[in-house]
């Protein structure tokens, strides 16, 4: 069955460092992959989309990579700030829907 795995343990990093979050998937060939941010009690907020034929995408302090051979995406936040503390969700894109992973909680420590 399809599986999307994100590190369930919280990631704690020092302010100013680069946070790297991982999304691995199996039994899936997504046409694209998305990353969202979710704050407690709120809906997911779209951050970035990367297509299967793209290796890397950047937006301001965010960078996403997509390796369809390894079936993995990495999400980087450079120069992290306490305001970046949230849960980050990867979502694999199908034609009619996206399917979410469990999310990784990021805590940026001042």
Partner 1 sequence: EPEVTQTPSHQVTQMGQEVILRCVPISNHLYFYWYRQILGQKVEFLVSFYNNEISEKSEIFDDQFSVERPDGSNFTLKIRSTKLEDSAMYFCASSEARGQGHGYTFGSGTRLTVV
**Smallest Cα–Cα separation from 35: which of 69, 84, 75?**
75
Q: Is 23 in the site for partner 1 (CB under 8 A)?
A: no
Site string for partner 1, 32-71 (x = CB under 8 A): x-x-x-x--xxxxxxx-x-x--------------------
* Least distance (Å) between residue 34 CB and partner 1: 6
Q: Is 28 in the site for partner 1 (CB under 8 A)?
A: no
DSSP string, 12-50: EEETTSPEEEEEEEES---SEEEEEEE-TTS--EEEEEE
Contacts of partner 1 in 72-91 (CB under 8 A): 89
Q: Is 1 in the site for partner 1 (CB under 8 A)?
A: no
Residue 4 near residue 97, CB atoms below 8 Å: no
Residue 101 near residue 6, CB atoms below 8 Å: yes
For binding to partner 1 (CB under 8 A), which residues are involved? 31-32, 34, 36, 38, 41-47, 49, 51, 89, 93, 95-103
């Amino acid at each position: 069955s399809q599986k999307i795995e994100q590190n369930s343990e919280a990631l704690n990093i020092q302010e100013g460092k680069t946070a790297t979050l991982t999304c691995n998937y199996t039994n899936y060939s997504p046409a694209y992959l998305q990353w969202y941010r979710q704050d407690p009690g709120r809906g997911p907020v779209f951050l970035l989309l990367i297509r299967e034929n793209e290796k890397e995408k950047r937006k301001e302090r965010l960078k996403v990579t997509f390796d369809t051979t390894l079936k993995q995406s990495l999400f980087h936040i450079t120069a992290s700030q306490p305001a970046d503390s949230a849960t980050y969700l990867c979502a694999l894109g199908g034609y009619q829907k996206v399917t979410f992973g469990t999310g990784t909680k990021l805590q940026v420590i001042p």
